[in-house]
Structure 1
Amino acid sequence: MKTFKNTEFAYIRETMGYSVKEVAEILGKSERTIYRWENGESLPKKSLIRELKTIYSIHTGQPSKSGHNFKFIDLFAGIGGLRKAFESIGGKCVFTSEWDLACRKTYQANYECDHPVNGDIREVDLDNMPQYDVLVAGFPCQPFSIAGVSKKNSLGRPHGFYDATQGTLFFDVAQMIERHRPKAFLLENVKNLVSHDKGNTFKVIMKTLKEELGYHVDYRIIDAKPYVPQHRERIFIVGFRDDVSFAFKDLKIPDTRPKLGSILHFENGTELPEPPFTEGPEGRVAAKYTLSDRLWEYLKNYAEKHKAKGNGFGYGLFGPDDVARTLSARYYKDGSEILIRQEGRNPRRLTPRECARLMGFDKLGQRSFVIPVSDTQAYKQFGNSVAVPVVEAVASHMLPYIFKMMRTAKDMNQLEILFEKVEVYG
């Protein structure tokens, strides 16, 4: 049985699995100071204990009772996957931008918004945005053109990210970062962003964030399989305005491998019926999700044709003990990438409720995610979204460093006030 040193501070640190060195780095203190706190020789400030307790509560899966820890903005918000994750670590969303009307309908049905949901990011007035600490964005990947800076200089035209990213939606994100200088940001995209245009797109993005905007940036491609029963690789790019020693290599990926059975309708009466996704008192999946004979025959023939050519194209057939392929935005067309076996019947599509569970929007013990749109729109929305538990893991990993940035900013503000007083009264 593990024994802990006889202080609250030591208990929290050891339970979280942090070393003394890691906590010293996170809290901006010397290791000697941490040892004194652990041994009860001196006491840390209440604000630092509050930070550690907040991190601890999130680490142990308990809701934080410390109120809002920071403010963030949600760009290319979709149906709010990034927002859901950052709210789970005590963030307060103060600005949202999403151009798709159907997504906005779903977003507003699920989140309390004390601010309007803005449309096109290109029409946002940067000078009249609320103050915020963290920017999160699942920005679309668009083609970038890399122009020669020297030629632009000779013509007296702008260069840097104003030139290399002009006309892309990443440009608008970069403009916001340049204008407001948030303490941190998280950008999410498809795995192929790294290889797009032979790596040139990603090169421009990283150059913009690091060299042009001056942020300390790290990135990692993470598969959602340890979090949800789905193979879904996405790239996450994290930046901090100051060097707070954030590193993705320190992110601990769980060893768990959830199976599809955990997100499928039970169909045995133990789950409340949910029309139009299920029907009857037993809550069986509605018949409309079973493939027609014609569509099932087409998919089988299509797969055989490509198999004969040596291609891997075709449907994916899964059961409760399997892990699914990536849910895509095209799922509404035929559902071919994730079909669920049915005994004695053609396979079926996932229901939108099962998609919500597969993407981590629905969790046991929480209010079900509201799906106020058609099946077609719901499939598009979930297929375009993030796997929420993955972002929650990334956000939790960021939180100690966000606290560190907040602490630094607070200290700087106090210094500025002190200097102003010296100038006035000195």
Structure 2
Amino acid sequence: MTLVTIAPDHPIATAEFFAGIGLMAAALEPRGFDVQWANDIERAKYDLYLANRPHAVDAFKLGDVRGVLGDQLPNIELATASFPCVDLSLAGNRKGLTGEQSGMFWEFARVLEQMNELRPRAVLLENVHGFATSRGGKDLRIAMERLAELGYSCDVIAINARHFVPQSRPRMFVVGLRGDLPAGAQLGVPPISDVRPGWVQQIHALNQDLPMHYIDLPGLPDGPEDLRRVVQRLDADDARWWDEERTAKFVTSLAPLHAARLESLAAGEKTAWRTAYRRTRHGVATWEIRADPIAGCLRTTGGGSSKQALVQAGRGQMRVRWMTPLEYARLMGAGRFKTRARTDNQALFGFGDAVVVDVIAWIADNYLLPTLRPAALI
């Protein structure tokens, strides 16, 4: 069986809520999706979005989603919503969908309701794993209840971007389908798989009184082993490397375990790279070097442990610096993304709460396209 490529003259009209810098569109558009409408409230993200997709200047509506009305959207088949995770994240305040930021889900649902019979065939929600546990699981439950009221059957999957890029970035997705389910959809509790580990299976099991379905999906790839294809090679005299004084402070702040880790890396015969986080312990800033050769989850730059540093060590030497916007882009599967912003921190902020291009592309290829454009047999 061979899947027929989607016809270029029949694109899938898409709306991108909470669009950020546009990595959802970057993943979808090469696969036959046409992002005809996008919205975000952040001016800096809007600027980066249009720097990479200048043709979308009329499609992007900069402003608060609370001001969006259903009749303002074009006819679409897919709506995506990477709504804010602040109130759902374990590192956040855990107010859940009652919080001011994560509560923007309700605005997304309101717009869908206002679209009436023109609601899209499919919706794709993306958020952190905390969405599943927020308020004891109540938030995910009431979100799926709301989608059910709007005519959607839900499927839940989880994917760590580690399978595609050298970054540990676990995320969960809710796929809502309206109308008749596709031929490959099944009812009941799904078997455990790469995208539906035990805790996701439990979500399905606990919510069988709601319209739920699942579609069998292939296994996930292994992913790259380390950061070598991500690291931006800088000259030894590049000003972005920290000077001796700052590097010494970095080293002296390391706990014994992390100091030993650095010493071992520096003694190696080959150059190696690790990422490091800054933590505050009892009011004192300390650094921790990641044990494995991949990046931790990129976050929005707001202080504390939000920014990652890069440690380069080997052959008796070591250097440290902040990771660059290009490295962040590569870790998000967007190596060709134009990262020019007013400041590096603006670019890092945009990548910190974006989606990983490769993950969305995988979902599009294996779930959305076969559903919205059923594959033909050759």
TM value normalised by structure 2: 0.71
For residue 271 of structure 1, what is the aligned residue in structure 2? Answer: none
**Closer, same or farther: CA 256–166 of 1 in aligned 2, 3 Å:** closer
In structure 2, give the amino acid aligned to 1:175. Answer: R
Could you tell me whether the CA contact under 8 Å between 1:110 and 1:369 is conserved in 2?
Answer: yes
Alignment of 1:128-143 (within 5 A): 128-141=72-85
| Partner residue of 1:177 out of 112, 115, 121 | 112
| Residue of structure 2 equivalent to 1:372 | 341
Report how far residue 143 of structure 1 moved: 5.3
Instruction: Report what 1:202 is aligned to.
Output: 140
SS in 2 for 1:250: coil
**Aligned with residue 223 of structure 1, among 160, 174, 188:** 160
SS at match of 2:323: coil
Does residue 354 (structure 1) correspond to residue 354 (structure 2)? The answer is no
Please state how far the C-alpha of 1:135 moved relative to its aligned partner: 0.2
For 2:61 and 2:257, the matched residues in 1 are separated by 45
| TM alignment of 1:79-158, pairs within 5 A | 79-111=21-53, 112-113=55-56, 114-141=58-85
- Provide Cα deviations, 1:330-384, integer angstroms capped at 9, x if missing partner: 377777644232453431222111111111012xxxx553423311111111111
SS at match of 2:329: helix
Contact 1:318 1:340 in 2 (8 A): no
Give the Cα–Cα distance (whole angstroms) in 1 for the partners of residues 32 and 290 of structure 2: 37
Give CA deviations for 1:398-417 in whole Å, capped at 9, x if unaligned: 11101249x9xxxxxxxxxx
User: Shift of residue 261 of structure 1?
Assistant: 0.2
1:394 maps to which residue?
363
Q: 1:307-343 CA deviation, whole Å, 9 max, x = no partner?
A: 9xxxx95645469x82221111137777764423245
Q: After alignment, is 70-79 or 396-405 more displaced?
A: 396-405
Residue aligning to 1:148:
none
Structure 1 residue corresponding to 2:18, chosen from 76, 93, 109: 76
* AA in 1 matched with 2:224: R
CA distance in 1, matches of 2:34, 2:80: 12
Contact 2:300 2:306 in 1 (8 A): no
* Per-residue deviation, residues 257-303 of structure 1 (Å, max 9, x unmatched): 342101112x4xxxxxxxxxx5xxxxx37734323455445545554
Aligned residues: 304
- 8 Å Cα contact 1:315/1:336 also seen in 2: no
Deviation at residue 235 of structure 1 after TM alignment:
1.0
Per-residue deviation, 1:77: 0.5
The AA in structure 1 aligned to 2:333 is: G
Greater shift after overlay, 76-85 or 339-348?
Answer: 339-348
> What is the rounded CA distance, in whole Å, between the counterparts of 2:323 and 2:99 in structure 1?
40
- State the shift of 1:234 in Å: 0.8
Partner of residue 227, structure 2: 260
* 2:269 match: none
- TM-superposed CA distance for 1:138, in Å, is 0.5
**2:130 alignment counterpart:** 192
- Write out per-residue CA displacement over residues 26-79 of structure 1, whole angstroms, 9 at most, x where no aligned residue: xxxxxxxxxxxxxxxxxxxxxxxxxx233xxxxxxxxxx624421001111110
- Report the residue type matching 1:53 in the other structure: T
- Most deviating of 222-231 and 345-354: 345-354
SS in 1 for 2:228: helix
Q: 1:76, 1:138 within 8 Å by CA — same for their partners in 2?
A: yes
Where do 5+ consecutive residues of structure 2 fail to align?
Answer: 89-96, 186-212, 259-277, 280-285
The one-letter code of the counterpart of 1:219 is V
Residues 368/384 of structure 1: CA separation in 2 closer, same or farther (3 Å cut) = closer
Inter-partner Cα distance in structure 1 for 2:60 and 2:310: 38
Aligned-CA RMSD value: 3.3
Give the Cα separation in 1 of the matches to 2:145 and 2:178.
15
Cα separation, 1, equivalents of 2:215 and 2:346: 34
Q: Is the 8 A contact 2:11 2:33 kept in 1?
A: yes
> Distance between the aligned counterparts of 1:294 and 1:208, measured in 2?
55
Structure 1 pair 299–135 and aligned structure 2 pair: CA distance change class (3 A)? same
Larger mean Cα displacement after TM superposition, 228-237 or 113-122: 113-122
Tell me how far apart the structure 2 counterparts of residues 128 and 100 of structure 1 sit (CA, whole Å). Answer: 20
The Cα shift of 1:305 comes to 9.4
User: Aligned equivalents of 1:126 and 1:260: distance in 2?
Assistant: 43
Residues 293, 346 of structure 1: 8 Å contact kept: no
Q: Percent identity?
A: 27
Asked whether the equivalents of residues 106 and 373 of structure 1 are also in contact (C-alpha less than 8 Å), the reply is no
Higher relative contact order (CA 8 A, sep 6+): 2
Is residue 341 of structure 2 the alignment partner of residue 403 of structure 1? no
Whether contact under 8 Å (1:251, 1:394) holds in the other structure is: no
More helix per residue: 1
* Partner amino acid, structure 2, of 1:119: G
How many Å separate the matches in 1 of 2:320 and 2:87?
38
SS of equivalent to 2:136: helix
When residues 355 and 402 of structure 1 are mapped into structure 2, their CA distance, relative to the original with a 3 A threshold, is same
Number of the residue aligned with 1:323: 294
Rate the CA distance shift 1:297–1:142 in 2: closer, same or farther, 3 A. Answer: same
* SS, match of residue 205 in structure 1: helix
C-alpha distance 173-165 of structure 1, shift in aligned 2 (>3 A): farther
Equivalent AA in structure 1 for residue 338 of structure 2: F
Q: Per-residue deviation at 1:165?
A: 6.4
CA contact (8 A) 1:78 1:385 kept: yes
One-letter amino acid matched to 2:345: T
* Higher fraction of strand: 2
Alpha carbons of structure 1 residues 373 and 334: separation in structure 2 relative to 1, 3 Å = farther
1:341 alignment partner, one of 312, 333, 346: 312
**Does 347-356 or 108-117 show the bigger shift?**
108-117
Equivalent in the alignment of 1:304: 255
**How far apart are the structure 2 equivalents of 1:328 and 1:288?**
24
